[in-house]
């Protein structure tokens, strides 16, 4: 029997396991269509005149790439009129997105980073789209920012698409993590891996070492022990990777284990971290935990953080459970 398409997989989840509602099934399909369009757009690169800077800044004060804006618009167009969401929020928009006049309100709220790792786009390194889906508050129609500020444990679905040598959609509905590969001829995401699991131990870590002098002592101690390898307390050598696209680094960890760290640093003490809680840390933490990994700020479980802002930043340490617990233990 040939592997199911995403649509068949979701229908099965809905019909036989009542894990998802028809609206959630439709919303995930809308996201998958948007990501296919994003993959085609970024695949054209210079040919489509979409590389380079847009000449604007996003809410984060980061220079926006043309593709940041283009991909954000693709996600909005694919989901805002589909009758499945009551509100949308994105890394690229300061405020929540008001649905078009007359749009049918759906049951869900979705937050997304349309093009994570966009600083890599001009150098042709893997980038991705990250999305997080929440229930809208029961009975509410006038959606406000506060309605989005739900802890990560409230997510009903989280996923990412990584645009690499192959285009992969990784998804959790709260019952494990499954992976779909885009068949570019068919234009369908095909289920290629079920029950992705992160090994509890690893010999690989991911961190931007250039920030070393800005780290807190527990992280410095942990990384120095990794670098000392078998000559020191860890008794084994470690390898290092840093793609600088969270989606690519997290996918590697889901595939072969590892620990990813973007810890708090005093480089800009006004920022609690670099990564954003609502549309990077929460969806990735949901996926990682569903795959048997762990995800903390170094002090608390990320999924239990009560958000205070749409673009709130947090430190992130996620991946192989025993490593995350070790470095988190150094903080206490
Ligand atoms: P740095 C991409 O901009 C991103 O938000 C994540 O995808 C990535 O892990 C991180 O920032 C890279 O940050 O400081 O190494 O460029």
Whole-number average pLDDT of the chain: 94
* Residue range 239-282, pLDDT digits in tens: 999 999 999 999 999 999 999 999 999 998 889 999 999 999 99
Which of 39-48, 52-61, 165-174, 198-207 is least confident? 52-61
The pLDDT, as a whole number, for residue 1 is 61
pTM score: 0.96
Query: Which residue puts its alpha carbon closest to atom 12 of ligand 1?
Result: 244
Residue 61 in this model has a pLDDT that exceeds 80 = no
pLDDT at 146 over 80: yes
Residue 62 has pLDDT above 80, yes or no: no
Asked if residue 58 has pLDDT above 90, the reply is no
Ligand 1 — pocket residues by CB below 6 A?
116-117, 119, 208, 244-246, 262, 274-275
Ligand 1 centroid distance, CA of 313 (Å): 12
Name the β-bridge partners of 172: 158, 177
Q: Quick one: three-class SS letters along 127-164?
A: EEEEEEEEECCCCCCCCCHHHHCCCHHHCCEEEEEEEC
CB 135 within 8 A of CB 121: no
* DSSP H stretches of helix in 187-307: 217-228, 246-256, 282-290
Is residue 52 predicted with pLDDT exceeding 80? no
Per-residue pLDDT tens over the stretch 80-92: 999 999 999 999 9
pLDDT per position as a tens digit, 264-273: 999 988 899 9
Contact 126, 120 (CB under 8 A): yes
What is the 61 CA–ligand 1 centroid distance (Å)?
14
Q: Ligand 1: distance of its center to the CA of 247 in Å?
A: 10
For the chain, list the domains and their CATH numbers. 6-193 (3.30.540.10), 204-331 (3.40.190.80)
CA of 242, closest atom in ligand 1: 15
Is 70 exceeded by the pLDDT of residue 17? no
180 band by pLDDT with thresholds 50, 70 and 90? very high
Using CA atoms, how far apart are residues 221 and 18, in angstroms rounded to an integer?
Answer: 47
Ligand 1 centroid to Cα of residue 240, in Å, is: 16
Q: Contact at 8 Å (CB) between 178 and 164? A: no
Cα separations (Å) of 236 from 106, 204, 297? 52, 11, 25
296-305 pLDDT, tens digit each: 999 999 999 9
3 has pLDDT over 80: yes
| Position 56 pLDDT exceeds 70 | yes
Residue 250: CB atoms within 10 Å: 33
Q: Strand 108-116 and strand 85-90: pairing?
A: parallel
Q: What is the pLDDT of residue 51?
A: 73
pLDDT greater at residue 205 or residue 59: 205
| Token pair 């369009």 in the structure block, residue | 37
- Residue 18 in this model has a pLDDT that exceeds 70: no
> Within 10 Å of residue 138's Cβ, how many Cβ atoms?
6
Q: Is the pLDDT of residue 205 over 70?
A: yes
């Amino acid at each position: 029997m040939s592997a199911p398409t995403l649509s068949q997989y979701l229908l099965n989840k809905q019909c036989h396991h009542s894990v998802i509602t028809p609206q959630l099934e439709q919303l995930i399909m809308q996201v998958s269509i948007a990501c296919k369009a994003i993959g085609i757009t970024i695949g054209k690169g210079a040919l489509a005149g979409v590389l380079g800077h847009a000449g604007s800044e996003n809410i984060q004060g980061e220079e926006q790439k043309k593709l940041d804006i283009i991909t954000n618009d693709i996600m909005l167009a694919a989901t805002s009129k589909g009758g499945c969401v009551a509100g949308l929020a994105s890394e690229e928009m300061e405020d929540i997105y008001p649905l078009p006049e007359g749009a049918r309100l759906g049951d869900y709220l979705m937050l997304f980073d349309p093009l994570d790792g966009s600083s890599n786009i001009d150098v042709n390194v893997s980038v991705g789209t990250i999305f997080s889906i929440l229930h809208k508050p029961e009975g509410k129609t006038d959606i406000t920012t506060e309605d989005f500020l739900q802890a990560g444990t409230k997510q009903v679905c989280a996923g990412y698409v990584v645009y690499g040598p192959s285009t992969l959609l990784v998804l959790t509905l709260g019952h494990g993590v499954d992976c779909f590969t885009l068949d570019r001829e068919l234009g369908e995401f095909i289920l290629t891996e079920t029950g992705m699991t992160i090994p509890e131990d690893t010999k690989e870590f991911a961190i931007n070492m250039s920030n070393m002098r800005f780290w807190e002592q527990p992280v410095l101690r942990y990384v120095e022990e990794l670098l000392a390898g078998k000559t020191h307390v860890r008794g084994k050598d470690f390898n290092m990777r840093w793609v600088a696209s969270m989606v690519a680094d997290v996918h590697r960890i889901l595939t072969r284990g590892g620990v990813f760290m973007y810890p708090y640093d005093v480089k800009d003490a006004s920022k609690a971290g670099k990564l954003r809680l609502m549309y990077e840390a929460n969806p990735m933490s949901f996926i990682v935990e569903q795959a048997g990994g762990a995800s903390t700020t170094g002090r608390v479980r990320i999924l239990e953080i009560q958000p205070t802002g749409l673009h709130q930043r947090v430190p992130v340490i996620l991946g192989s459970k025993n490593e995350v617990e070790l470095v988190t233990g150094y903080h206490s």
